[in-house]
């Protein structure tokens, strides 16, 4: 099963992708995480994208398509993949379709997570993550059970993203509506779109996503 989580920044894609990966054995493919890893490793790509990401603009299709192809093949899981933050343009969506087709694979569903804009800004400006395992937390809605200690791995160092400030976030939202929202119509027309309400408890949202997934069926 290959699924896309589609939604604006802060919709909860990363949080839900981790849950889906755990529950269904899917590989979690986040282009945002890949690009941040390139920056941390100081690669040429990392240097090239630093300012673009800090501003909240999109990096070029070429870069993210290359990253996603590499990681898709490296992480290949029989169960499939959950795409988080990719595709973000119509060009990327076409490239993903071709990549899957070349491998005799296909997309099973696109889950659109709907959250209103003011809630998105509150989510993103309160976000922090575990520096060791990447678990996602929030200052108010999802604190670690023991203050200062990651629930998942016991790590004690946490990080905030450079682009999780209100100014960059407003620009990311604009970019989302301009470049990414057209994918909603694109996947609707392909019969793959399932829209769910992304507001509510994390577990409630996870249950809505699970209910929207296609039932397991034999593949040709």
Residues that bind ligand ADP (CB under 6 A): 7, 9-15, 31-32, 35, 52-53, 56-59, 64, 85-86, 88, 92, 123-124, 126-127, 136-138, 141-142, 172, 200, 202, 205
CA 147 to each of CA 106, 137, 142, 143: distance values in angstroms, whole numbers, following the listed order: 42, 11, 11, 7
Our CB check for ligand ADP shows the closer of 203 and 217 to be 203
User: Which of ligand ADP, Zn ion, none has residue 136 at its interface (CB below 5 to 8 Å by kind)?
Assistant: ligand ADP
Our CB check for ligand ADP shows the closer of 85 and 155 to be 85
**Of 18, 127, 194, 208, catalytic:** 127
User: Which of Zn ion, ligand ADP, none has residue 31 at its interface (CB below 5 to 8 Å by kind)?
Assistant: ligand ADP
Our CB check for ligand ADP shows the closer of 53 and 109 to be 53
CA 207 to each of CA 16, 21, 58, 198: distance values in angstroms, whole numbers, following the listed order: 10, 14, 31, 11
**Of 36, 88, 123, 194, catalytic:** 88
Our CB check for Zn ion shows the closer of 152 and 167 to be 152
Instruction: Compute the distance between CA of residue 15 and CA of residue 112 in angstroms, rounded to an integer.
Output: 14
Instruction: Compute the distance between CA of residue 143 and CA of residue 217 in angstroms, rounded to an integer.
Output: 38
Q: How far is CA 163 from the centre of its chain?
A: 15
Provide, rounded to whole angstroms, the least separation between the CB of residue 18 and ligand ADP.
8
Of 104, 186, 41, whose CA–CA distance to 67 is shortest? 41
User: Which of Zn ion, ligand ADP, none has residue 155 at its interface (CB below 5 to 8 Å by kind)?
Assistant: Zn ion
Provide, rounded to whole angstroms, the least separation between the CB of residue 141 and ligand ADP.
4
Q: Is 142 a catalytic residue?
A: no
Structure-token pair, residue 13:
């894609």
Q: Is 160 a catalytic residue?
A: no
Q: Is 219 a catalytic residue?
A: no
* Residue closest to ligand ADP (Cβ): 32
Q: Is 74 a catalytic residue?
A: no
Instruction: Compute the distance between CA of residue 70 and CA of residue 93 in angstroms, rounded to an integer.
Output: 16
Q: Is 170 a catalytic residue?
A: no
Instruction: Compute the distance between CA of residue 9 and CA of residue 29 in angstroms, rounded to an integer.
Output: 16
Q: How far is CA 11 from the centre of its chain?
A: 9
User: Which of Zn ion, ligand ADP, none has residue 134 at its interface (CB below 5 to 8 Å by kind)?
Assistant: none
Q: Are 96 and 107 in contact (CB under 8 A)?
A: yes
Q: Are 69 and 99 in contact (CB under 8 A)?
A: yes
Strand, coil or helix: what is 104? coil
Any idea which residues carry the catalytic annotation? 13, 88, 127, 161, 172
């Amino acid at each position: 099963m290959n699924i896309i989580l589609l939604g604006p920044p802060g919709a909860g894609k990363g949080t839900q992708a981790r849950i889906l990966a755990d529950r269904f054995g899917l590989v979690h493919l986040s282009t945002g995480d890949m690009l941040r890893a390139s920056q941390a490793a100081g690669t040429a790509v990392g240097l090239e994208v630093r300012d673009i990401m800090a501003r909240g603009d999109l990096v070029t299709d070429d870069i993210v398509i290359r990253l996603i192809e590499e990681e898709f093949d490296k992480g290949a899981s029989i169960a499939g993949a959950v795409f988080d933050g990719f595709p973000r343009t119509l060009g990327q969506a076409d490239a993903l379709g071709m990549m899957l087709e070349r491998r005799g694979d296909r997309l099973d569903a696109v889950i659109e997570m709907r959250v209103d804009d003011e809630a998105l800004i509150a989510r993103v400006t309160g976000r922090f993550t575990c520096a060791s395992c990447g678990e996602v937390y929030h200052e108010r809605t999802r604190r670690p059970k023991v203050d200062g200690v990651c629930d998942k791995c016991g790590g004690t160092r946490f990080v905030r993203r450079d682009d999780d400030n209100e100014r960059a976030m407003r620009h990311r939202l604009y970019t989302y509506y301009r470049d990414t929202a057209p994918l909603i119509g694109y996947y609707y027309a392909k019969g793959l779109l399932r829209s769910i309400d992304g507001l509510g408890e994390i577990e409630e949202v996870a249950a809505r996503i699970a209910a929207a997934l296609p039932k397991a069926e034999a593949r040709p």
